[in-house]
Amino acid sequence: MGKTNGWGILATGWIAELFTQDLIAAGLKVAAVGSRSEAKATAFAEQFDIAKAHGSYEALVADPDVDIIYVATPHPHHAEAALLALEAGKHVLVEKPFTLNAHEARLIVDMAREKNLVVLEAMWTRFLPHMKRIHEIIGSGTLGELRSLSAEHRQFLPTDPAHRLNALELGGGALLDLGIYPISFAFDILGAPTSVQAMARFQATGADALVATVMEHRGGAISTTVSTLDSAGPNVAVVYGTKARIEIATVWYQPTSFKVIDQNGAVLEQFDETVSGRGMQFQAFEMEALVQSGQWSERMPPDQSVEIMQTLDTIRQQIGLVYPGER
């Protein structure tokens, strides 16, 4: 048996609560939590019965009982927190989107490589059972040659201009909070795009309310995505091949079911599997296995996280979206 890894939770917001719930339910060790507010760290520790609460990120990454840092700050602070943890010799799981831009992403990956540490983007969808099975089906040739993919992420989210989701200075908007899911999915299934076309609609705060993309991938396959934070949708996804298609039920990026349907409409496979909690524990299992082996993820390679951020940069250039304080 290998050493039990101690997880450190860096920041105490909603996503940190969800992940910590799944960590604990899965029997993994949450050793400490850190916040810029000692009161928030203490409250979080009491809520989840965590042994240590640190009133600074610096104290958290210096904790000898912490081996893996989970970065759950707002997007603009991902790079700073991840680099702080890596400098302290900790492995890092960074919430999606990996960073604010590709420049920051490269800094993280370069430092992790230099220090021989594991870094992983917390794109938890990639590690869910239905996604694993989808890759097996595609790999078996059941779909034939892949021709296209469509995926949406439509939500009706808080409209308060001061809310993080609508605040440009916090990286708010549809692209980084919602669009990261279908765009990362397109990378996962079809590979990096060879061309990108994007359009957007903006709200009064300057943040993007809707972003749509059409991307061409290797072999001429096309992906289409729509992400919006001001109108809810069914959030389904479809992968099309020359022999069959996969229809992923709502909500496609969470634990769900799917059908494999041939060109005559016959159902070749129906996938249903019950998952406990939200399903975020699967990315934690991946991270722990990577730390034990000393390898980087094949399912979510850090270099691909950089490529994804570069594509998001390209999309932002096309739609004219710039975040305050960016280099």
The residues carrying an active-site annotation are: 96
* Residues ≥6 apart with Cβ < 8 Å to 135: none
Residue that the structure tokens 């991840």 belong to: 82
CA distance 179 to 93: 20
CA distance 242 to 238: 13
User: What is the secondary structure of 29-82 as a DSSP string?
Assistant: EEEEEE-SSHHHHHHHHHHHT-SEEESSHHHHHH-TT--EEEE-S-GGGHHHHH
CA distance 21 to 17: 6
Coil, helix or strand at residue 208: strand
Cross-strand pairs, 216 = 195, 222
CA distance 308 to 187: 8
| Beta strand extents in the chain (DSSP E only) | 6-10, 29-34, 52-54, 68-71, 91-95, 119-122, 146-154, 195-202, 208-216, 222-228, 237-241, 244-248, 258-262, 267-271
Can you read off the two tokens belonging to residue 317?
Answer: 């250039």
Cross-strand pairs, 247 = 238, 259
* Residues ≥6 apart with Cβ < 8 Å to 88: 61, 62
Cross-strand pairs, 225 = 151, 213
